[in-house]
Amino acid sequence: MKIRQCFVVMLTAWLMSLTFSHVAHAAVEVRDVRLWTAPDHTRVVVDLSRNTTYQVFGLKDPDRVVIDIDNGKLVQQSEILKEADPVIGSVRYGNSESGTLRLVFDVKEKVKLRSFLLKPMKGKPYRIVIDLLRNQDGEEAPVLRANDKRELIVAIDAGHGGEDPGAIGANGLQEKQVTLEVAKKLADIMNKQPGIHAVLTRKGDYFVPLKKRVDLVRKAKADLMISIHADAVRTRTVKGASVYTLSEQGATPSKIAAALAAKENAADAIGGVMQDETVDNPTVRNILGDMAKRDSLNSAQMFAGNIIAELEKVGDIKYKDSKRARFVVLGALEVPSVLIELDYISNPAQERKLRNSAHQQKLATAIYQASVSFLERMGMIKGKMVAKSNE
């Protein structure tokens, strides 16, 4: 009996060793390679079937960037470079005798490299992220009028982008698409008005960390900041726009507002940032250390009320009053800042509206009119400015 038990134990151990050996030597599948082009960098994202070790380094004569993935196997055989990129000229790949998968990116200019590994979350797999940083500043400077007085600067923040699609509608519409379209339309309207200049935190489909969005607002010396989003919930009948401002330190926001802020603040983890790029919750610091910041928060409340009044003329409103929560993207505390949820993209009927260019234009016009009303009320402009629509 003991001999039989000993045999069973040995057989089980042998089978387990074969299983572990197979797992250890199974190829790491590279399921997709994507490129996101931003003004100041190109981001390469490599989807993996599981965790692995890798190396990223540059080579010269000619300049190129190399990614070596241990025991890697490229599953997606289609062309990686689908569209023209200002940094990457061509892409090559192949496996060495040791089984290492090598991806080679020929680059058109000298770049600095930054890479990190993202763990699975929100349905996304393990991902290697490589940023090819350009030696240029893609940010806009404040514009001067002929009399050398700075124009009023409105920072427009299109939520999400790149690796972070945001909420996704029942018919596939992505939040990042809607926010960018409305942001561009709003910027076009504002830039046609004398005395106002709009600055976009992103102009295309690429990821911008929350901390950098705040930095861009500050560097633009913005007088107003508008962050544009579209909400989603499980109940598909929910609809209507809502507007949020930053919660004061120590204030307790509603559970709904707090949950929304947590979801929006998770954008960095989804889109991909290095550890040193993360930003603390702005309310952890002493954000009300002077009257200017308190005045800014109060002004934001006033601005939010104007936006709700104008959006109500265009469609449904979820909350008649603005809500407060601790949104990281509203962290430029010296600037009156609001976050707008245009509607619920999870509602199929509202999703169709959000996809429609004419409706997007109406939303942009409503936000513009609210901005003008606020600036007039604050004594920053005189005379009613009527939006010049492209539609």
Confidence class for position 189, pLDDT limits 50, 70, 90: very high
The SS3 call for residue 154 is strand
337 and 258 within one domain: yes
Q: How far, in Å, CA of 31 to CA of 50, rounded? A: 10
The count of C-alpha atoms lying within 13 angstroms of the C-alpha of 143, restricted to the half-sphere facing its C-beta, is 15
Backbone angles phi, psi at 158, to 5 degrees: -85, 115
Q: How far, in Å, CA of 324 to CA of 327, rounded? A: 9
Backbone angles phi, psi at 203, to 5 degrees: -110, -5
The SS3 call for residue 171 is coil
Domain residues for the domain of 252 are 152-377
Of 235, 226, 249, 225, which Cα lies nearest the Cα of 341? 226
109 and 70 within one domain: yes
The answer to whether residue 200 sits within a structural domain is: yes
Q: How far is C-alpha 291 from the chain's CA centre? A: 31
pLDDT of residue 258 exceeding 70: yes
Q: How far, in Å, CA of 174 to CA of 354, rounded? A: 10
171 and 94 within one domain: no
pLDDT of residue 391 exceeding 50: no
Cβ atoms within 10 A of the Cβ of 212, count?
A: 19
The answer to whether residue 384 sits within a structural domain is: no
pLDDT of residue 314 exceeding 60: yes
pLDDT of residue 130 exceeding 80: yes
Cβ atoms within 10 A of the Cβ of 340, count?
A: 27
223 and 116 within one domain: no
**Mean predicted confidence (pLDDT) in 32-52:** 94
Report the share of the chain in percent with pLDDT over 90.
66
For the sheet with 112-118, list strands across it.
Answer: 72-74, 28-37, 41-48, 126-133, 112-118
Of 79, 203, 54, which Cα lies nearest the Cα of 129? 54
Decide the pairing of beta strands 242-246 and 323-325.
parallel
**What is the four-CA torsion angle of 186, 191, 194, 197, rounded to 10 degrees?**
90
Number of domains within the chain:
2
Q: Does residue 127 or residue 275 have the better pLDDT?
A: 127
156 and 255 within one domain: yes
Report the share of the chain in percent with pLDDT over 70.
80
Tell me, what's the pLDDT at 26?
Answer: 80
104 and 185 within one domain: no
Of 187, 241, 249, 216, which Cα lies nearest the Cα of 329? 216
365 and 300 within one domain: yes
186 and 80 within one domain: no
pLDDT of residue 84 exceeding 80: yes
The answer to whether residue 382 sits within a structural domain is: no
User: 65-69, 140-144, 172-176: lowest mean pLDDT where?
Assistant: 140-144
The answer to whether residue 140 sits within a structural domain is: no
Secondary structure in 3-state letters for 112-153: EEEEEEECCECCECEEEEEEEECCCCCCCCCCECCCCCECEE
The answer to whether residue 329 sits within a structural domain is: yes
Tell me, what's the pLDDT at 278?
Answer: 52
The answer to whether residue 17 sits within a structural domain is: no
Tell me, what's the pLDDT at 8?
Answer: 45
Among 133, 163, 193, identify where a domain stops. 133
The answer to whether residue 389 sits within a structural domain is: no
CATH number of the domain that residue 320 is part of: 3.40.630.40
CATH number of the domain that residue 64 is part of: 2.60.40.3500
Mark out the alpha helices in the chain (DSSP H runs): 2-25, 175-191, 210-219, 255-265, 267-271, 291-311, 348-355, 357-377
Decide the pairing of beta strands 152-158 and 196-200.
parallel
pLDDT in tens, 191-208: 999 999 999 999 999 999
pLDDT in tens, 64-78: 999 999 999 998 766
Of 173, 225, 193, which Cα lies nearest the Cα of 329? 225
Confidence class for position 100, pLDDT limits 50, 70, 90: very high
Query: Which residues pair with residue 68 across a beta bridge?
Result: 55, 102
The answer to whether residue 388 sits within a structural domain is: no
Confidence class for position 147, pLDDT limits 50, 70, 90: very low
Instruction: Tell me which residue has tokens 């997709």.
Output: 32
338 and 219 within one domain: yes
156 and 124 within one domain: no
Query: pTM of the prediction?
Result: 0.84
59 and 98 within one domain: yes
Tell me, what's the pLDDT at 11?
Answer: 46
> Six-digit token pair at 40?
């100041």
Q: How far, in Å, CA of 271 to CA of 33, rounded? A: 15
pLDDT in tens, 265-290: 889 888 888 755 554 544 434 444 45
Helix 348-355 vs helix 357-377: angle between axes, to the nearest 10 degrees? 80
**Mean predicted confidence (pLDDT) in 97-118:** 93
Q: How far, in Å, CA of 340 to CA of 175, rounded? A: 12
Among 73, 103, 133, identify where a domain stops. 133
* Average pLDDT score, the chain: 85
Tell me, what's the pLDDT at 21?
Answer: 40
241 and 310 within one domain: yes
Of 40, 361, 357, 326, which Cα lies nearest the Cα of 202? 40
Backbone angles phi, psi at 304, to 5 degrees: -60, -40
Q: How far, in Å, CA of 341 to CA of 318, rounded? A: 9
Q: DSSP character for 204?
A: S
pLDDT of residue 34 exceeding 70: yes
